[in-house]
Amino acid sequence: MGKYTVKFKCHHSGHCCRDVVCLPTPWDVLRIAMNTKRDPREFIEFFTPDEIDGVSKSDPTWLIIGKERYIMALFRTAEEGCFFLDQDTFYCSIYKHRPILCRLYPFKLHETKEETFSHFTLHKNVGCPRFRDGIMDTAPLYELYLQDKMHQEDYVTLVDSFNALEDADRTPESFLDLFVEVVHEEKG
């Protein structure tokens, strides 16, 4: 495992699209909406801490409404997986526009004590078979990581703004209104 390459090749087991909950950033949501022409309300859902595992209660992207917390995710069902998983081909229907988290999975970045890049490995506790019969260059993964880090900082700022609102009628879906402008064509 390493600084320049990681032994891995995706064999399209479907684990990431069926079993993993994807937590996109607002930038991911906008990119998907613009490229698919879909309203994010079709493909975004919100989970409470009781409905999702593996997300710390101190994660800064939790939306706080009253006494409840919510986190934004791509819509999925237990039977069919991710909203964008093509049920005929079992491939991602938005592959070129998929969230950065999907692009980085199942890789894990390691940093030094000084918080500089050290190397990549494969996550250990994931259901992906982690086939090691290929070679992945880490340079593109690192660039994705840097993009995601920047987007996460913007995401936290947006969540802080949302959480500071005093609107009693706020819902988790109201969060989308902070960064998504949906144009509806009038019919008639």
* pLDDT confidence of residue 186: 46
* pLDDT confidence of residue 182: 60
For residue 183, give every residue at least 6 positions away whose Cβ sits within 8 Å of its Cβ, in sequence order, or none. Answer: none
Q: Tokens for 161, please give them.
A: 């703004």
* pLDDT confidence of residue 70: 97
Q: How far apart are CA 9 and CA 7, in angstroms?
A: 7
Q: Count how many residues are written for the chain.
A: 188
CB 57 within 8 A of CB 64: no
Residue whose pair of structure tokens reads 């101190």 in the numeric block = 58
pTM as predicted: 0.85
Buried b (16+ CB within 10 A) or exposed e, 19-42: ebbbbbbbbbbebbbeeeebebee
Q: Tokens for 123, please give them.
A: 């996550």
pLDDT tens-place values along the chain, 188 residues long: 568 888 888 777 777 888 888 999 999 999 999 999 999 999 999 999 999 988 998 999 999 999 999 999 999 998 889 999 998 988 899 999 999 988 888 888 888 899 788 888 888 877 777 778 888 888 898 998 889 889 999 999 999 999 999 888 999 999 999 888 765 454 44
Phi, psi of 147 (to 5 degrees): -60, -45
Report which of 181, 169, 170, 152 is spatially closest to residue 63, judged by C-alpha positions.
170
* pLDDT confidence of residue 187: 43
CB count, 10 Å around CB of 151?
18
